[in-house]
Amino acid sequence: MDLHFDNSFVRELPPDPERRNHRRQVKNACFSFVDPTPVSSPRVVACAAEVAALLGLTPDACNTDVFAQVFGGNRLAPGMESYAACYGGHQFGNWAGQLGDGRAISLGEVTHDNQRWELQLKGAGPTPYSRTADGRAVMRSSVREFLCSEAMHHLGVPTTRALSLVATGDSVVRDMFYDGNPQPELGAVVCRVAPSFLRFGNFEIFSARQEHDVLKMLADYAITTHFPDLGKPSPTVYVEWLEEVCRRTAIMIVHWMRVGFVHGVMNTDNMSLLGLTIDYGPYGWLDNYDPNWTPNTTDAGGKRYRYGYQPQIAHWNLARFAEAIYPLVGDVEPLEAALQVYSQTFEREQRVMMAQKLGLEEHQASSDDAEAGGDEATGGDSALVEELLDVLQLIETDMTIFYRQLAKIPAEIPSTPADEPCESSDDELLAPLMDAYYAPEELTEPHRQRTLAWLRRYVARVREDGTRDGVRLARMNAVNPKYVLRNYVAQLAIDKAEQGDGSLVQELLNVMRHPYDEQPAREEYARKRPEWARHRPGCSMLSCSS
Ligand code: AMP
Ligand code: MG
């Protein structure tokens, strides 16, 4: 396999001197060297050709036995130096101490076309950070990570990528429902790929342990390697770095909100330093628009990580990151100021994003205009958006379908003679939206009137812009996906993969390569959640068991 490695992480950062693979607290080290534990019969279930290309591999390379051996964890290719990183994190709001790569093993960093790509196996066996668990991953969660990483990428959401999904041939025992009924399941290993898998938690651990010299080494490494534009690390640069992390995180969250993605476990150890979506666990996609929804059954009580609360949680997590790097700056005030970059970026990007989802011109919706108070459109659009988000919750409304159908609503002023009616009737106006409703009969007269009132306001607003319907449709369809990785659709692929048939995984990867395009032969994957999937585990409720 022709991969070129440049393993900066293990070269530049302090290693754990202990080489034996046993569970422990690892002090004063950024990582521990550890080899993947071999599996009995690795078989490639799916491979993402685009990701292979990023690494300089041909698609054929994925079909070889050597590929299955390497990416199933049975052997290291030349140049690989495998390790597990040490990190901590705040889980559900509480400091959890050392966590670390408990089942992720990095293989090294490939450089290709002037880019750096860390390769990391997930489910490749125990590491010093495995605590009480086995270091393995099951097929269902691996299919979910593989497909969603790639789906998110093609949707334009910053994310870690996935190269391969390999069945191990071994079984892994999991108590999926946490009800004292553990079952053997198929094991799998995903190879994920990103410039770096550094998380907020990698910095928090050294701060919490007051290992400030290691903290500084890691921060300087991260800045020099992954934020080179910031220049030579210094207290000022650490603050600018925080600003950049805030900016990237805000942009990532706005994308999540745009496509209806709920991460499910936004602990600080699952927050990427690079602003990438990372650690696909009990995530989910909104079917009906419900800001209070979370797929994670472990979080069903507090719903800390519900869809509508993700922006606030990201801010909370960034504050933990700011605290972690405080020893490098020694002054609270600039860090607090830097944190505001998050809210500023989020608010601005969110406004732009909603305007795009609705196909509206932005009317220079900058904060300057808002302050000047002169831009009626800015204020008008925020009221329009707020009312929409209420209207979407009147009855169960499929978010993805709604925006695609909204794009079809005629708004253009018809250039017809004056004696022709130029207003759509109520039924005409509502017709495209009917597809988005889970139970159209629940649209009672008051709901209908409120929806119509919003639609008329929307049409009036589109007319202010004078956008032609065809232009608006194209613009809206470029930001409102037709296809997302619907929870129940992913589950169908899992059901097959668990029977040894990876064909639907491959098919969904293909579908998700063009999420904004109409794909007439694949309408079935764009359908709203069927009734059987409403309460089926894996389809709307996910446990952390993976
Ligand atoms: P997660 O909730 O998946 O982000 O995981 C939280 C922590 O638990 C991380 O340190 C993981 O590496 C670790 N972990 C999760 N599942 C396993 C497992 N099966 N074996 C070992 N460690 C695990
Ligand atoms: Mg994690």
> Atom 22, ligand 1: which residue's CA is nearest?
102
Residues 264 and 353 in one domain: yes
331 C-alpha to ligand 1 centroid (Å) = 34
Mutual angle of helices 503-512 and 487-498, in 10-degree steps? 150
Residues 145 and 120 in one domain: yes
Cite the active site residues: 269
531 C-alpha to ligand 2 centroid (Å) = 31
Q: Which of these, 220, 266, 170, 166, lies nearest to 14 by C-alpha position? A: 220
- Phi/psi region, residue 88 (left: phi>0; alpha: psi -120 to 50; beta: rest), is beta
**Distance between CA 185 and CA 173 in Å, rounded?**
6
- Residue-wise over 42-73: b if at least 16 C-beta within 10 A, else e? bbbbbbbbebbebbbbeeebbeeeebbbbbbb
Residues 226 and 327 in one domain: yes
Which residues are paired to 164 by β-bridges?
47, 191
Question: Which atom from ligand 1 is nearest to the alpha carbon of 134?
Answer: 20
449 C-alpha to ligand 1 centroid (Å) = 49
Ligand closest to CA 101: 1
Q: Is 352 exposed, middle or buried (0-12, 13-18, 19+ CB in 10 A)?
A: middle
Residue 481: phi, psi to the nearest 5? -65, 145
**Distance between CA 477 and CA 407 in Å, rounded?**
7
* Domain-located, residue 145: yes
Residues 107 and 150 in one domain: yes
Give, for all 546 residues of the chain, the pLDDT tens digit: 889 999 999 999 999 999 999 999 999 999 999 999 999 999 999 999 999 999 999 989 999 999 999 999 999 999 999 999 999 999 999 999 999 999 999 999 999 999 999 999 999 999 999 999 999 999 999 999 999 999 999 999 999 999 999 999 999 999 988 889 999 999 999 999 999 999 999 999 999 999 999 999 999 999 999 999 999 999 999 999 999 999 999 999 999 999 999 999 999 999 999 999 999 999 999 999 999 999 999 999 999 999 999 999 999 999 999 999 999 999 999 999 999 999 999 999 999 999 999 999 986 544 444 444 444 444 569 999 999 999 999 999 999 999 999 999 999 887 766 655 567 889 999 999 999 999 999 999 999 999 999 999 999 999 999 999 999 999 999 999 999 999 999 999 999 999 999 999 999 999 999 999 999 999 999 999 999 999 888 888 898 889
Residues 84 and 172 in one domain: yes
Three-state SS at 228: helix
Q: How many structural domains compose the chain?
A: 3
Residue 47: phi, psi to the nearest 5? -145, 140
Residues 273 and 397 in one domain: no
Ligand closest to CA 136: 1
> Atom 13, ligand 1: which residue's CA is nearest?
102
Q: Which of these, 450, 378, 384, 402, lies nearest to 290 by C-alpha position? A: 402
Q: How many residues does the chain have?
A: 546
Q: Sign of torsion, CA 333 270 485 398? A: negative
> Atom 11, ligand 1: which residue's CA is nearest?
102
Among 151, 171, 204, which residue terminates a domain?
204
Q: Does any ligand 1 atom lie closer than 6 A to the CB of residue 123?
A: no
- Phi/psi region, residue 255 (left: phi>0; alpha: psi -120 to 50; beta: rest), is alpha
Question: Which atom from ligand 1 is nearest to the alpha carbon of 265?
Answer: 2
User: Could you list the residue range(s) of the whole structural domain that residue 441 is in?
Assistant: 367-413+424-466
366 CB-side CA count, 13 A: 4
Q: Does any ligand 1 atom lie closer than 6 A to the CB of residue 270?
A: yes
pTM of the model: 0.96
* Domain-located, residue 260: yes
**Distance between CA 525 and CA 151 in Å, rounded?**
13
Residues 158 and 17 in one domain: yes
Residues 219 and 199 in one domain: no
Q: Does any ligand 1 atom lie closer than 6 A to the CB of residue 136?
A: yes
Among 435, 466, 497, which residue terminates a domain?
466
470 C-alpha to ligand 2 centroid (Å) = 43
* Domain-located, residue 452: yes
Mutate to test the pocket of ligand 1, among 98, 120, 129, 200 (most ligand atoms within 8 A of CB): 129
Among 169, 185, 204, which residue terminates a domain?
204
Ligand closest to CA 103: 1
Residues 397 and 309 in one domain: no
DSSP 481-541: -S----HHHHHHHHHHHHTT--HHHHHHHHHHTSTTS--GGGGGGGSPPPGGGSSSBTTTB
* Domain-located, residue 167: yes
Question: Which atom from ligand 1 is nearest to the alpha carbon of 279?
Answer: 4
Cβ distance 525 to 489 under 8 Å?
Answer: yes
**Distance between CA 419 and CA 497 in Å, rounded?**
61
> Atom 23, ligand 1: which residue's CA is nearest?
102
What is the helix (H) or strand (E) element at residue 162, kind and residue range? strand 161-174
Q: Sign of torsion, CA 422 428 430 432? A: negative
List CB-based neighbours of ion ligand 2 within 5 Å: 270, 279
